[in-house]
Amino acid sequence: MIILSLMAILGMIFIFIGWRIWKKEQISLIHSYHYTRVSENDKKPYAEKMGKAFILMGIGMILTEIVNFVTKTTYGWVIFVISFVWGTVMFFKAQKKYNNGVL
């Protein structure tokens, strides 16, 4: 139960950070080496993709807790894995496209 409560809190933090990155274009919330080679013209789409990836991961964390709490099973972890992997793929695709590589 405590782990799941932490998941919901982390999920809300991820959603908040994702929203700040996407809507407020605060890419400074991401480590600087991730956006050093992003051009000024690409900062808006880069921030959008990175923010959406954070939000997706946060929603997955919250849904994990809801599903596990309601069903009294661990099926919610399937949602967590799917959303986390999907968000990570979104990160890597944005990094490759806008930062010319992952590092």
Q: What would the mean pLDDT of 51-71 be, rounded to a whole number?
A: 94
The yes-or-no verdict on residue 1 having pLDDT over 60 is no
Which residues of 34-81 form beta strands (DSSP E)?
A: none
- AA identity, residue 91: F
- Check residue 42 and give its pLDDT: 85
- Kindly report the length of the chain: 103
Predicted model pTM: 0.88
Residue whose token pair is 């919610």: 76
- DSSP-based three-state secondary structure for 12: helix
Query: Could you read off the pLDDT of 62-94 as tens digits, one per residue?
Result: 999 899 889 988 889 999 999 999 999 999 999
Domain borders along the chain are: 2-98
